[in-house]
Amino acid sequence: MGERLASKVAVVTGGGGGIGEATGALFVQEGATVALVDSDAEAAARAAQAIDPSGGRVLAIGADLADEAEAARAVRETVARFGQLDVLVNNAGVRVYGPITEATPESWERIIQVNLLAAAYCSKYAVPELIRAGGGSVVNVSSTNAVVGRSGLAQYDATKAALLGLTRSMACDHAEQNVRVNAVCPGFTATRYHVRRRAEREGTSPEQAAADLRAEGSQCLLGRLAEPLEIAYAILFLACHESSYVTGATLMVDGGTGMSVDGPTSR
Ligand SMILES: NC(=O)c1ccc[n+]([C@@H]2O[C@H](COP(=O)([O-])OP(=O)(O)OC[C@H]3O[C@@H](n4cnc5c(N)ncnc54)[C@H](O)[C@@H]3O)[C@@H](O)[C@H]2O)c1
């Protein structure tokens, strides 16, 4: 049991699985009490039970954070239960596959609502609480593809790039109030989402899909997918006092995605 977040209270959005659940578990291990907020209320409840079977340290909140009123409620319920708020992790996200020629007003609206506006709404209600607590930290979970191009997820990548802009400008707005705002950009991470998607596509079991994903590896310098906990450690760093001089930053946690291993003579 660590003490990096001793007596701190955190909201982790999209806490029902994957990176969000791993972050919630790590935060609790480091002394925090945590609200896991997710539109999938059952997933949030299951994650809360897995992290803290005795209850008391983890609160599960079902909320569609694309709705500003729901974001306000999630923050309100967390503060009502735990008395304060010190850390907000904006991790909830959705994906839309396909090139921009296939995008529709509806697909744009949904992905912007969740990947950008939900983070903005949660921040709108959390930041005053962080200020009331004497300062705090907001960590936005973006993506390596906010800064490295690829094909097939243009809408997603655009929203994740927008999240980096929000991160920097929020950092400017709230530095004087001792609120730091940073972003983590995960690379390809072995979460339930990707396992489920692969299992559906290949018609295999989740166990086989997870093994196949890991065996296939990833096009990054390290050659493999990240595990959710490896992303959670970066989020923990930005959430706790060890990053006290870091704000407005983008931390790539992607195994070196987009970096070249070519030598100096290659073109
Ligand atoms: N897994 C990866 O390879 C990867 C890579 C880069 C970035 N990311 C980002 O990391 C974050 C977590 O990804 P993941 O793969 O762990 O999980 P995920 O993408 O499956 O989903 C995150 C969670 O967000 C929740 N969610 C979706 N819409 C919501 C809404 N409107 N309100 C509240 N909750 C909502 C989902 O129910 C889910 O539990 C996402 O923002 C994702 O874009 C993931």
Of 160, 79, 60, 61, which is closest to residue 115 (Cα–Cα)? 160
Is residue 209 a part of any domain in this protein?
no
Amino acid occupying residue 51: I
Tens digit of each residue's pLDDT (9 = 90 or more) over 44-91: 999 999 999 998 999 999 999 999 999 999 999 999 999 999 999 999
**Residue 221 within a domain:** no
| Domains contained in the chain, number | 1
Give residue 93 CA to ligand 1 midpoint distance, Å: 4
Per DSSP, 61 falls in state: E
Report yes or no on 259 lying in a domain.
Answer: no
Mean pLDDT score of the chain:
96
Contact yes or no for 118/141 (Cβ under 8 A): no
Percent of the chain with pLDDT over 70: 98
**Cβ-Cβ contacts under 8 Å for 176 (sequence gap 6 or more):** none
How many angstroms is it from 158 CA to the middle of ligand 1?
Answer: 15
Predicted pLDDT of residue 267: 52
Residue 161 lies in a domain: yes
- Residue 67 domain boundaries: 9-189+226-253
**Whose C-alpha lies nearest to ligand 1, atom 23?**
14
pLDDT class of 171 with cuts at 50, 70, 90: very high
pLDDT digits (tens, 9 = 90+) for 111-156: 999 999 999 999 999 999 999 999 999 999 999 999 999 999 999 9
Q: What contacts 31, CB < 8 A, 6 or more positions away?
A: 1, 2, 3, 4, 5, 6, 7, 8
Answer whether 238's CB lies under 8 Å from 23's CB: no
Q: Which of 163, 191, 196, 222 to mutate to test the pocket of ligand 1 (most atoms within 8 A of CB)?
A: 191
Please give the distance, rounded to the nearest whole angstrom, from the Cα atom of residue 20 to the centre of ligand 1. Answer: 8
| Catalytic entry in 97, 125, 156, 233 | 156
- How much distance in Å is there from the Cα of 141 to the middle of ligand 1? 9
Alpha carbon distance 12, 92 (integer Å)? 8
In a mutational test of the pocket of ligand 1, which residue from 143, 219, 251 has the highest number of ligand atoms less than 8 Å from its CB? 143
Domain membership flag for residue 265: no
Question: Is 193 noted as a catalytic residue in this protein?
Answer: no
